Structure 1
Amino acid sequence: MALVRLEPFREIDTLQREMNRLFDDIFTPPTQRPNGHTFAPAAEIKETEDGIHLRLEVPGMEAKDLNVEVTAEAVSISGERKSENKSEEKGLYRSEFRYGKFQRVIPLPARIDNQNVQAEYKDGVLNLNLPKVEAEKNKVVKVSLG
């Protein structure tokens, strides 16, 4: 008779991965799933006293393939990946990259001056500097304590 070592933490990790996958399948629209050939670019947002800095990761795309629209309250990024890396060898067909359309709308934590937005796209990373409206910079809110 062989001894089987019990590893409870491995079982918990497996259970957590399965639960995460289940909730991802339930709450992710079919058009945004990897097998739906779309993606949502990863975003990083940082608010400072003078503005908001937004970085988006859109690798494998050119600036001409991106559409960026900015309102006072949100940023909308859309585009389409058109590049493909296909190979066929010994009857095996392989495509490494996902491709298709995407759109992401990111609500902003403060109103911005959308007439003075600065953008830079380099090495698959889109950087947006969004200056705050002057009224937002000097906004003071009185808090009552009783």
Structure 2
Amino acid sequence: MLASLGLTKPPCLVGAVFGKIIEGTRYSNTKEDVTMPFIPGDRFRNLDTLKREFMNMFPDLVPELTSPRIDVYETETHVVASCEIPGIEKKEDIDIHIDDNVLTISGTINKMHEVREENLYRKERFSGRFERVVNLPSSVTAEDTKASYKNGILEIRMPKSMMDRRKKVDIDFL
């Protein structure tokens, strides 16, 4: 049956990513494999625009796009948060607060350059207000906290509180 249609391999739908249909053959390891579309033409070309408009109207429904990615780890003396925030131009654009072992990073990423909406083909970079709130794994002292920003990475080094330092207590076994 496949040969009568001019096909040598059965087509399969690979998946959908952000409204785009990804189509192809079951095997695509060689150059000879040709993508076989299920639907002629690009009937889904307007889904990118629809997705962008939806995310602009309801940014709280997709917080991963408006919240910076963050790694939090501990050393012997500090809790360290390393956060990706590309596009920050000055330190007044970022606010850092520590309250009851909750770290809040907020700020504004400004547009690098204006592009008229009708000329825009794809917009993936975020601009606007952002906020990220994370619970810290240990008690920290906010007074001696240091923060630095380099190459789009914000690093916050928070000293652990003396009350949180754990020490193993030896037992005198009598």
> Which amino acid in structure 2 is aligned with residue 5 of structure 1?
K
Distance 1:60 1:45, change over 3 A: same
| Candidates 49, 72, 82, aligned match of 2:76 | 49
Distance 1:45 1:5, change over 3 A: same
For structure 1, the residue ranges without an aligned partner over 5 or more in a row are 19-24, 142-146
CA distance in 1, matches of 2:110, 2:91: 13
Q: What's the C-alpha RMSD, in Å, of the aligned pairs?
A: 3.3
Q: Which residue of 2 aligns with 1:22?
A: none
Q: Which residue of 1 aligns with 2:160?
A: 132
Q: Which residue of 1 aligns with 2:119?
A: 93
| Structure 1 length-normalised TM | 0.68
Q: Which residue of 2 aligns with 1:59?
A: 86
Deviation at 1:46, TM superposition (A): 1.1
Greater RCO (CA < 8 Å, at least 6 residues apart): 1
> Which amino acid in structure 1 is aligned with residue 7 of structure 2?
L
Moved over 4 A (4+): none
Tell me how many residue pairs correspond in the alignment: 125
Q: Which residue of 2 aligns with 1:120?
A: 148
CA distance in 1, matches of 2:61, 2:112: 18
Say if 1:86 and 1:93, in contact at 8 Å, map to a contact too. Answer: no
Question: Which has the larger helix fraction?
Answer: 1
CA distance in 2, matches of 1:92, 1:5: 41
Say if 2:87 and 2:112, in contact at 8 Å, map to a contact too. Answer: no
1:31 has 2:59 as partner: yes
Distance 1:30 1:139, change over 3 A: farther
> Which amino acid in structure 2 is aligned with residue 115 of structure 1?
E
CA distance in 2, matches of 1:119, 1:40: 18
Say if 1:72 and 1:113, in contact at 8 Å, map to a contact too. Answer: no
Q: Which residue of 2 aligns with 1:144?
A: none
CA deviations on 1:121-146 (whole Å, 9 max, x unpaired) are: 122211111111112122559xxxxx
For structure 2, the residue ranges without an aligned partner over 5 or more in a row are 19-50, 170-174
Percent identical among aligned pairs is 22
Deviation at 1:65, TM superposition (A): 0.5
